[in-house]
Amino acid sequence: MIESIRILLVDDDQIIREGLANLLNLQEGLTVVAAAEDGRKALRMLAGQSVDVALLDVDMPVLDGISTAKEIKRMYPDVAVVMLTAFEHENSLAQSLASNVRGFLTKDIPAPELAQLIKQAHSGQRVFGSRPTQILTDAYLASGKNDSAYDDFRQKVEQLPDYLRSVFDLLIQALPNKTIARQLGITEATARSYISELFTATGYTNRGELTVTAIKAGY
């Protein structure tokens, strides 16, 4: 029989703490073995309790989630730390990543999905909720816009005639020819012809390479 993943749940809201503990205990393979209302109490619990995953709220009294995460990683490096928060402060994501946490999730995630993500974090994967993922994506795209290595590519894209730019915008969304044709109000044969023109204009020969470059360039 596979042992359950042992969870330490840390949240200053008693209702959330108890409700979440009950929900997680109903999920197969998970057991909440300890719960605390602040980071300092959590660290004391870790000294006497074997834990696999620590779920930490960001905003807590006495010792906040970010500070607690840093201490856990320093004192108990084998414990996977996952931030579980209402996500009111976007800068807490960057601070959490700097603390080498395993994941950043929001409290609106359904219990079965949360359980799966906890298991993934325990296995060594990094896990993120939809809002943190969007912020990371936006930051990645913004960094690409400032990368001079893609200036030539961006210039080619900006010089595309309107009909090819429309094709470009749809193609890098991984849409098939049929969908591109329908959205542009053209035939599928015309869509294929335009895509071929687009490849020639940008210097690429396939969708994959063009799409990857477009993402790295900030599109």
Domain ranges of the chain: 5-129, 147-216
Asked if residues 111 and 177 have their Cβ atoms less than 8 Å apart, the reply is: no
* Per-residue model confidence as pLDDT tens digits over 41-98: 999 999 999 999 999 998 888 998 889 999 999 999 999 999 888 765 556 666 666 6
Is pLDDT at 133 greater than 70 in this prediction?
no
Is pLDDT at 140 greater than 70 in this prediction?
no
pLDDT of 94: 64
CATH 3.40.50.2300 fits 5-129, yes or no: yes
pLDDT of 92: 65
| 34: Cβ contacts below 8 Å, ≥ 6 apart | 8, 9, 42, 45, 49, 51
pLDDT of 51: 96
Asked if residues 100 and 73 have their Cβ atoms less than 8 Å apart, the reply is: yes
pLDDT of 14: 92
Q: What fold does the segment set 147-216 form as a domain?
A: Arc Repressor Mutant, subunit A (1.10.10)
Provide the mean pLDDT of the chain: 86
84/79 Cα distance (integer angstroms): 15
Which is higher by pLDDT, 209 or 18?
18
Q: How far is CA 86 from CA 14, 52, 165, 173, in A?
A: 15, 23, 39, 30
Asked if residues 11 and 37 have their Cβ atoms less than 8 Å apart, the reply is: yes
| 172: Cβ contacts below 8 Å, ≥ 6 apart | 210, 211, 214, 215, 219
Asked if residues 7 and 52 have their Cβ atoms less than 8 Å apart, the reply is: yes
* Per-residue model confidence as pLDDT tens digits over 148-184: 778 899 899 999 999 999 999 998 887 888 889 999 9
pLDDT of 174: 77
Residue listed under structure tokens 């000294």:
47
